[in-house]
């Protein structure tokens, strides 16, 4: 009889690995988005582009400080305050 705990552990390990890879991808996306937003000059952009950037900025700003820092680190970016 196969060990069901081992099979469950293997499935959980595989799922955790997938989630960690997805997190890394999302951190890169968030880091790139934060960097882009920080560099935008809204005076030079059409209003629809400004609105889209504002929506993106609103959601990036919902990240915890630690997650945002991880995102910035993932793309080797810094944001000057």
67 located within any domain: yes
Residue-number span of the structural domain to which 32 is assigned: 24-81
72 located within any domain: yes
| Rg (alpha carbons) of the chain, rounded to whole number | 19
17 located within any domain: no
Name the domain count of the chain.
Answer: 1
The pLDDT of residue 81 is 61
Q: What is the pLDDT along the chain (81 residues), one digit of tens a residue?
A: 567 889 999 999 999 999 999 999 999 999 999 999 988 998 989 999 999 999 999 999 999 999 999 999 999 987 776
12 located within any domain: no
Q: Structure pTM?
A: 0.80
The pLDDT of residue 4 is 81
User: Are 50 and 58 within 8 A, CB to CB?
Assistant: no
The pLDDT of residue 24 is 96
Cα 20 to Cα 42: distance, rounded to the nearest angstrom = 35
31 located within any domain: yes
18 located within any domain: no
């Amino acid at each position: 009889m196969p060990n069901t705990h081992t099979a469950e552990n293997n499935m959980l390990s595989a799922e955790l690995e997938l989630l960690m890879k997805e997190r890394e991808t999302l951190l890169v996306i968030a880091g790139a988005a934060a960097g882009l937003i920080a560099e935008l000059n809204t005076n030079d952009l059409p209003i629809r582009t400004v609105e889209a950037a504002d929506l993106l900025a609103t959601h990036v700003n919902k990240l915890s400080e630690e997650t945002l820092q991880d995102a910035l680190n993932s793309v080797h970016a810094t944001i000057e305050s």
